[in-house]
Amino acid sequence: MKTKPQIELRTTPHAHAPDDVVRIMRNVVYALLPIAGFAIWQFGLSVLALLITVTLSCLLTERFFNWMGSGYNSLGDWSATITGLLLALTLPPAFPLWMGAVAGFAAISLGKALFGGLGMNVLNPALVGRAFVQAAFPVAITTWTPAFFDGRFSQFAPSTLALPFLRPPSVDSWVELLQVDAFSGATPLALHKFEGIQTDTIDLLTGMTTGSAGETSALLILVCGLYLAFRRMLDWRIPLTVMGGVALTSVLLSLVDPEKAPDAIFMLFSGGLMLGAWFMASDMVGSPVTPLGVLIYGLLIGSLTVVIRVYGGLTEGVMYAILLGNAATPLIEQITQPRIFGQRANK
């Protein structure tokens, strides 16, 4: 008697990609390491200590909520490591370490654990942590360190080791402590917004400027982002549409108000636009998956970034633009869902 073959019924998808969460997250860490290395070379021990402190804070907070919840150890999926690295790279190089630890705790607790963990978060956790310290420590978050100062590998910048709840050294005192001739403390965006000075494009590309720890070299960030795109570990359409939204809005505003709005090249390569577009806006959890939704999402973030930079009170707008884009993602996906094959269109 012949045995009838058994048919196994399963839900879709029936074909599985070789990549999983751990492999993708690990490759994102690999892509961030050159950016972190350049930041350390540019700003020295202060950034190294900041990277370690913020990442360790994120890991410990993640483990704490694991212990408080199911007990499952999620540190092995690398998501908390990515949050820590990204968060540290968006902070000023000499950001006080205790504030960095607070930022890491806020990123994981408010941006991830509060929503139920990995895959449940609506907002990018690193940007949630950054937004928290932006509101809590407005002076420290806008205090910058001169790049490539002498002795950066033998001493910390003055504010790095500031004690909790004590005022860190002022920018004026850094000139003597760091043995530099002069230091304006202004980023390229601040120089243009408040003094009308535009930084050379080559300096923006190569990172020869003042700014957040990992946001100075647009060219390096682009190369690292393309690595993930070629490995198909991020949706390349998102960063391209974000950059397209920035370019289009910059051109339109420069036609309307040429004295106030800088050119598109400056907008693309300055500040945190490149890091935000390639490593944060492309977050798989907080971004749409529909083709039209990706286009709307990217253009929304790009245009909001330019509008905030030009007309807002802040010099940078990438963080808030991405968070607003994350918040709008459920609505964007709802209105851009393609019609199911065979289904009649709603009238």
Segments forming the whole domain that contains residue 67 = 21-143+145-184
pLDDT of residue 152: 84
- When pLDDT is cut at 50, 70 and 90, the band that residue 313 belongs to is confident
Two tokens, residue 46: 């202060």
Q: 98 to each of 8, 72, 101, 104, 189, how far by Cα in Å?
A: 55, 28, 5, 10, 27
Asked if residue 303 is part of any domain, the answer here is: no
> What is the value of pTM for the model shown?
0.89
Q: How confident is the model at residue 184 (pLDDT cuts 50, 70, 90)?
A: low
Q: 12 or 119: which carries more pLDDT confidence?
A: 119
Kindly tell me the burial class for residue 206, based on how many C-beta atoms sit within 10 Å of its own C-beta (0-12, 13-18, 19 or more): middle
Asked whether residue 86 is assigned to any structural domain, the reply reads: yes
Q: For position 101, what pLDDT does the model report? A: 97
In a domain, 263, yes or no: no
**What's the domain count of the chain?**
1
Asked if the structure places residue 109 within a domain, the reply is yes
- Domain membership of residue 110 (yes or no) is yes
* Residue at 153 is within a domain: yes
The verdict on residue 121 lying in a domain is yes
**Which of the four pLDDT bands, split at 50, 70 and 90, describes residue 74?**
confident
236: in domain: no
- How many Å apart are CA 91 and CA 8, to the nearest integer? 52
Counting residues of the chain whose pLDDT is more than 90, the rounded percentage is 56
Give me the mean pLDDT over the 90-118 stretch: 93
Whole-number Å distance between alpha carbons of 331 and 325: 10
Average pLDDT, rounded, for the chain: 87
